Every structure is written in C-alpha cells, then in structure tokens.
C-alpha cells in the first residue's frame, strides 16, 4: 500500500531539521512504497497550499546541513482559529489542502506551538505525527529535543571565548543565552562554560544576591566574573508582575535586552567594569553536532515506523535513552521547565555557582 506523506518544519529553525527530514524520508522509502510532499514555510504553506513533490535525490547531502530545506515560518497557534483581514479560515484551509495534496499523513517538525497546531489538526481528523525540534529543550514528553545539543556546544564556546577577554581585562561579562520560558540551554552551557552566575527564567533572581556573588569573587582575588543569563530571566519583583506589566516596566528601563540592563546595574551597584554579550541567532545556526544528527535521524526513523503501523496522532520523543512516542493530546500545550531540584541545579549549587536566589 502506497502512503503519501507531507512534511513541514514550523517555528524557529535549528540544527538537525534536515537530518530529521532525511531520516523520515529514507526510512519511509526503505520500509514501504511512498511519495513525499514537501510543504513550504511550515503551516503557512499548508494554509496557502504551497508544496512540491519531492524526489529521493532531494534528501541526499542534507545530513550536515543546518536550517531547513523546506523553509519555516512562525504561525502562532493562538491565531489558528482567528479569521484575520485576509478572511482565511486557517483550519479549514489546512484540512482542505491536506485533501488536495492527497496526503495519508502529515509529519510536523517543530516546538511547542507546532505541536499544539499538530494536535489541533489531529483532533480535526487528520493523520499527524509530531517531531520535537527546539534548542530550548522544553517540549514535554521527551528527555531531549534535537537542536539542543548543538546549541549547548555553540553557547558553551561563546562562554569559553568570553572567558579570555574577561580575564585579560578584569571585567564582568554578562552573556545572554536564548531561552525565553525555559532555562535548559543557559543552565547546561553555563555549567559547561564555567560561568560563575547562572540566571534562569524558572528561578527569579535577587539583584543584590547577584551583586554579592561578584563581590565575594573579588574578595577571593578573582578579577573577573562570568554571568550566563537566559533571555527570559527575571527579578523577584518582575516575577510578581503580569506579563503586560513586566513588558511595560522593561520598556521604561530603556534596555532592549536583559544582559544590557544587568550589565549596567552591576556596574552601578558593584563598581565593576561590565559588558553585555548577545550571541543571538548564532546559537541556532550552522551544522548539527554528531549527537543531534544521530538523534534527529532516529526520531525520523521512528516517525516512519509509526506511519508504517498507521499509529497517528503521536509525538515522538526520547525517554530513558529509548526513542518512544506519546499522544499529541498529552504533549501539546505543556512546557518542560527546569525543576528546582534538577540534578544540574543541584550540581551548580554544590560547586558554589550563584543562581541569584
């Protein structure tokens, strides 16, 4: 029986997307008679009916390639059932184009928002499988997402390189790591890079305690400090605010990033020479690590096996070093935050790393 599979990548790009696409395709070609349709620019392409018929040769030479050969775009889940100025019923359009493409299954590679829309389409009766992509590592139901390992490597290298400048000039360097809601990337790269202070969204920080940590280092004869701060980190006071209030408060400070604001605050309160470093999208780019190539591939192969068995409505993940799957309905809408008792948190505290609390 021939199966016609649609594949899309949605949300932010990350290393490993092409390796995962390749894993789905090569395993499908190997296990059963298949045709693969590449949907352009994520759910936007599914809504617009923008797709292309793929050939086996399209999946050659992409294992080490960063980004996504299918293109990607952010199409917020909160707007999926909203009729906007273009008068397009997005859900109706996606269902209609799924049928026009004559798909037997839709494979969606993406993060939390992607999985929520995948579950919506599954509930609407489409055959859908989700694959967990994000450098934030915050998807529920999987121990690790593809893209995370590579981003940890990149962020760690940034911290490593900043160390030499910090030591040479006797500065406090505040490095802003990606992660708006979850701090996995900042925590892992902070520990791996030897950061002295690590600030996460899950643990609101007290500015005075951050200042004290820098003062203690100075008293010990340490001439520099490294602060790894997640872009979504917030003070204890900010954590008590509603999101709109917090955004308004931050706008009043005049700083576009947490690292820039924190660097100025530390200069004023501690008297150190502080600099903000924002590697930004560098953390999401480039070729995937060997681990992410392997992880992406085995995730893609597992998706193909689910298709072979007609097990739809599932999200692929890793649990206890074993690739598995969970119903999309159990994964969608859940964020995997760093727990306060996480082993890495305990390790950081045991080494004297300040978490600002």
Which of 13, 104, 136, 292 is catalytic? The answer is 136
Closest CA to 29 of 48, 12, 4, 46: 4
Place of tokens 């406090």: 172
Residue 50 among the catalytic residues = no
- Which residues have a Cβ under 8 Å from the Cβ of 28 and sit 6 or more positions away? 3, 5, 34, 36, 304, 307, 308
Specify whether the CB–CB gap between 128 and 39 falls below 8 A.
no
| DSSP states along 303-345 | HHHHHHTT--SEEEEEETTEEEEEEHHHHTT-B-PPPTT-HHH
Closest CA to 199 of 22, 335, 17, 348: 348
Reduced to 3 states (helix: H, G, I; strand: E, B; else coil), residue 160 is helix
Dihedral of CA atoms 32, 36, 42, 44 in degrees, nearest 10, equals -130
Q: How many residues does the chain have?
A: 357
Residues annotated as catalytic (active site), given as ranges:
136
């Amino acid at each position: 029986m021939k199966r016609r599979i649609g594949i899309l990548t949605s949300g932010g790009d990350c290393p490993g997307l092409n390796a995962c696409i390749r894993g789905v395709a090569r395993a499908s070609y190997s296990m059963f008679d298949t045709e693969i349709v590449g949907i352009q620019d994520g759910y936007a392409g599914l809504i617009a009916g923008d797709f292309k018929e793929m050939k086996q040769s399209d999946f050659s030479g992409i294992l080490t390639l960063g980004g996504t050969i299918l293109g990607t775009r952010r199409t917020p889940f909160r707007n999926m059932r909203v009729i906007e100025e273009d008068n397009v019923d997005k859900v109706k359009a996606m269902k209609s184009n799924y049928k026009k493409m004559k798909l037997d299954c839709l494979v969606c590679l993406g993060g939390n928002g992607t999985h929520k829309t995948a579950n919506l389409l599954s509930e609407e009766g489409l055959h859908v499988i989700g694959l967990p992509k994000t450098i934030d590592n915050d998807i529920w139901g999987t121990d690790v997402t593809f893209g995370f390992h590579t981003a940890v490597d990149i962020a760690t290298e940034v911290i490593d390189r900043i160390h030499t400048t910090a030591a040479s000039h006797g500065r406090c360097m505040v490095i802003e790591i990606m992660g708006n809601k979850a701090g996995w990337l900042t925590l892992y790269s902070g520990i791996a890079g030897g950061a002295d202070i690590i600030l996460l969204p899950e643990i609101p920080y007290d500015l005075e305690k951050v200042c004290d940590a820098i003062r203690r280092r100075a008293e010990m004869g340490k001439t520099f400090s490294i602060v790894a701060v997640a872009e979504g980190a917030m003070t204890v006071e900010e954590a008590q605010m509603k999101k709109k209030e917090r955004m308004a408060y931050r706008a009043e400070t005049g700083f576009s990033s947490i690292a820039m604001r924190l660097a100025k605050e530390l200069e004023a309160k501690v008297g150190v020479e502080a600099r903000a470093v924002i590697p930004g999208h560098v953390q999401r780019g480039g070729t995937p690590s060997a681990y992410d190539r392997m992880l992406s591939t085995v995730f893609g192969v597992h998706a193909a096996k689910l298709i072979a068995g007609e097990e739809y409505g599932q999200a692929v993940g890793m649990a206890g070093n074993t690739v598995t799957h969970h119903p999309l309905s159990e994964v969608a809408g859940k964020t995997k935050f760093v727990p306060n008792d996480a082993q890495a948190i305990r390790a950081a505290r045991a080494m004297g790393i300040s978490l600002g609390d």
